[in-house]
Chains A and B, each alone.
Chain A
Amino acid sequence: MKLTLRVWRQKNPDTPGAMAVYELDGVSEDMSFLEMLDILNEELIVKGEEPVAFDHDCREGICGACSLVINGAAHGPERTTTCQLHMRSFQDGDTIDIEPWRASAFPVIKDLVVDRSAFDRVIQAGGYITAPTGAAPEAHATPVPKADAEFAFEHAECIGCGACVAACPNGAAMLFTSAKVNHLNVLPQGSPERETRVLDMVAQMDAEGFGGCTLAGECATACPKGIPLFSITAMNKEWLRATRKVKR
C-alpha cells in the first residue's frame, strides 16, 4: 500500500504545531496502525529527521496508552484502540490525517503525545476503595448480585485512554469519570465511599478544565471498550443522590 500521511508535528508545548505531509510506500495491510508509524519513523531516522512522537505501550488494546485521532475519529475508523487498528481498514492511495487528542485538559507535549495526567488526578480524587489490601480475598467472601457484577464489569472495562474526551465536542471527561464511578459505586467494596467518590471525582473533573456534557453521544461512539452513554446517566443519578445525602 502507498499512503499519504498528514501528521501533526509540534516541537514542544510552547511552539505552535502544524500538519506535515509524508509519503509512505510499502505498507502491508496486515500491519497495525502503530507498526505503520514505526516504518515512517525508521524512514525519518534514516533521512536524519526527527521521528514522530506518539504514545504506545502494550499494543494489545488493554493498556490505554495509545491515542491518535485518525481522519477525525478517535482511534480511527474501527471500534478498537489504535494499536489494534490494522491497515486493511484503509485503501491503497489513501490520505490519512493523524492528530493528537484535542482538549485544553490534555495539553500537547510533543507531536501526537498529550499529557493525560488530568485523568490520574480524577482517579486520585476517589477512584479507589479504602478496604485493607493484602492477599487476594476468597472470591465468595463478599457476595455480589449477578446484575451488579455485570454492571461493574461493563464499566471496569474502561482503560482510561481518553478517546471520550478527544471525541467530545466539549472536551468533557464525563464518560471516563462515569465509568470509574459506576464500576466502584455498585460493588459492596466501594459502598463506604459511594457518595464522596462521585462528588469528589466530579469536582476534580470540573477543576481540570474538562467541558460539560451535552449528550452528543460522540464519546460512547468513540470508546474502544464500548462504555455505554447510559453510564453518564447513571453517574448523574449517583451525583444527585449524593448531593442529597452529604451535607457540604
Chain B
Amino acid sequence: MALTFWHSTLGKKIVMGTTGLIMIGYLCAHLLGNMKIFFGPGEFNAYGHWLRVMGAPVLHHEWGLWIARLVLLAAVVLHAVSAYQLSRRDIKARPQKYVHTKPRMSYATRTMRWGGVILGLFIVWHILDLTTGTTHSGGFQEGHPYQNVVDTFSTWYGNAIYIVAMLAMGMHVRHGFWSAAQTLGAGNRTRDRGLKAIANALAIVLTAGFISIPVGVMTGVVS
C-alpha cells in the first residue's frame, strides 16, 4: 500500500502536497510568533523561551520544540525527495525541446523547481544563522533572539538573502497551495476562485509579514 503510493507519480505528488501544506501551516505559526518582535525585546525573548517549555507540564523541556522540528524535517525531506524524483522523471519524459518555444506558464509555475532549491538553501542558512549561531554575524547570544535578529538584519547580506528567499517563498506558496488542493482532489470549478484567492492571500501575507522584520530593523522600528 505505502509502496503503491510512493512508486506512483500521483502518490509522490500527494506526498508533496501534504508535506507542503504542513510547511505552509508552520509558516503561518512562525509568522505570528515572529510578529512579537514589534513589541519589544521582553515579549520576543519571552516567546523564544516559551517555545522551549511548550507543552509543559506534559512535555519535558524542549520536547515540544523537538517534536515540531522532527515533523518539519520529515516534511522537508519528503517534499524535496519527491520533487527531485518527479523532476528527474519529468525531464526524461520530454527529452527534446520544441524549436519554436514560447513561455506561457505563470512565473510562479515556471520557478517552482529552482525556487524550491533556493528555499532549501535558505533554510540551511537560516538555521545556521539564528538557531545554532554558526554563521551569525557578531556574537551570537543564546537566549537573546531579539538581539540576534537585529544583528542579522544589520548586515546588507543578511537582508539580501532573507528578502530574496521570502520573495521566492511567496511565489512557491502561490502555485504550491493551489496545486496541493488539486493534487489532493479538493479543487473544482466552483471552488477555484476561492482557492486561488486563498493562495494569493497566503503568498502576499506571508511574504509581506516576514519581509516586514528586516524592514523594521533597517528603518529602526526594531533595534
Interfacial residues, chain A to chain B (CB-CB below 8 A): 6, 8, 19, 69, 71-73, 97, 99, 102-105, 168-172, 199, 202-203, 205-206, 209-218, 221, 228-230, 232-234, 236-240, 243, 247-248
- Interchain Cβ contacts under 8 Å between A and B, 19 examples: A72-B100, A99-B99, A202-B9, A205-B9, A211-B92, A212-B12, A212-B13, A212-B89, A230-B182, A230-B188, A232-B182, A233-B182, A233-B185, A234-B188, A236-B10, A236-B182, A240-B14, A243-B4, A248-B4
Cα A171 to Cα B104 with chains together (Å):
16
Q: Which residues of chain B from 9 to 43 have a CB within 8 Å of any chain A CB?
A: 9-14
Question: Judging by beta carbons under 8 Å apart, are B14 and A169 in contact?
Answer: no
Q: Judge whether B90 is part of the interface by a CB distance below 8 angstroms.
A: yes
A206 and B90 contact, CB distance less than 8 A: no
Query: B189, A19: Cβ atoms under 8 Å?
Result: no
- Pair A236/B105 contact, Cβ less than 8 Å: no
Q: In the assembled complex, which residues on chain B have CB atoms less than 8 Å from the CB atom of A105?
A: 93
* Interfacial chain B residues near A73, Cβ < 8 Å: 102
Q: Quick one: which of A69, A206, A233 contacts B98, CB cutoff 8 A?
A: A69
In the bound complex, do residue A230 and residue B189 qualify as a contact, i.e. CB atoms below 8 Å apart?
A: yes
The answer for the CA separation of A73 and B7 in the assembled complex, in Å, is 32
Q: Please report the C-alpha to C-alpha distance between residue A217 and residue B7 in the assembled complex, in whole angstroms.
A: 24
**Shortest CB distance A228–B (Å):** 7
7 shortest interchain CB distances as A-B pairs: A237-B185, A211-B93, A170-B90, A171-B93, A97-B100, A212-B9, A171-B94
A212 in contact with B189 (CB, 8 Å): no
Question: In the complex, are the beta carbons of B182 and A221 less than 8 A apart?
Answer: no
Instruction: List 10 other contacts, CB 8 Å, given A169-B94, A237-B185.
Output: A69-B98, A72-B100, A97-B99, A170-B93, A213-B10, A228-B189, A232-B182, A233-B181, A236-B185, A240-B14
Distance (Å) between the CB of B12 and the closest chain A CB? 7
Alpha-carbon separation in the docked complex, A216 to B112 (Å):
10
Chain B at the A interface: mostly helix, strand, loop or mixed? helix
Given A211-B90, A213-B9, A215-B179, verify A233-B187 contact (CB < 8 Å).
yes
Indicate if the CB atoms of A72 and B98 lie closer than 8 Å.
yes
Q: How far is the CA of A98 from the CA of B64 in the complex (A)?
A: 60
Q: Hey, which chain A residues are within 8 Å of B109, CB to CB?
A: 214-217
The answer to the question of B155 belonging to the interface, with a C-beta cut-off of 8 Å to chain A, is no
Asked if B131 CB lies within 8 Å of chain A CBs, one says no
Name the contact of B175 in the complex, choosing from A72, A215, A232 (C-beta under 8 A). A215
In the complex, the answer to whether A236 meets B93 with C-beta atoms within 8 Å is: no
Q: Is the CB of A209 within 8 A of B93?
A: yes
Q: Across the interface, which residues of A come within 8 angstroms of B14, CB to CB?
A: 236, 240
Q: State A71–B98 Cα separation when bound (angstroms).
A: 9
Q: Which residues of B contact A (CB under 8 A)?
A: 1, 4-5, 7-14, 86, 89-102, 104-105, 109, 112, 175, 178-179, 181-189, 192
**A206 nearest in chain B by CB position:** B9
Measured CB to CB, the closest approach of chain B to A216, in angstroms, equals 5
CB of A150, distance to nearest CB on chain B (Å): 12
A102 to B92, CA, bound (A): 11
CA distance A232 to B184 in the complex (A): 10
Task: Tell me if A102 and B94 are in contact (CB < 8 A).
Answer: yes
Bound Cα distance A103, B96 (Å): 7
CA distance A73 to B103 in the complex (A): 11
Q: State in angstroms the CA–CA spacing of A44 and B183 once bound together.
A: 49
A14: min CB distance to chain B, Å: 15
Report chain A residues within 8 Å CB of B175. 215
Which residues of chain A are within 8 angstroms of B99 by Cβ–Cβ distance? Answer: 6, 8, 19, 97, 99
Which residues of the other chain, B, contact A205 by a CB distance below 8 angstroms? 9
Q: Report yes or no: B105 in contact with A217, Cβ–Cβ below 8 A.
A: yes
- Which residues from B are CB-within-8-Å of A97? 99-100
- Given the contacts A236-B10, A240-B185, A243-B4, A214 and B90 also touching, CB distance less than 8 Å: yes
CB distance from B79 to the nearest CB of A (A): 14
Given contacts A171-B94, A247-B1, contact A236 B183 (CB under 8 A): yes
Q: Which residues does chain B contribute within 8 Å of A216, judged by CB atoms?
A: 105, 109
- Chain B's nearest CB lies how many Å from the CB of A222? 10
- Smallest beta-carbon distance B51→chain A, Å: 35
Residues of B within 8 A of A104 (CB): 92-95
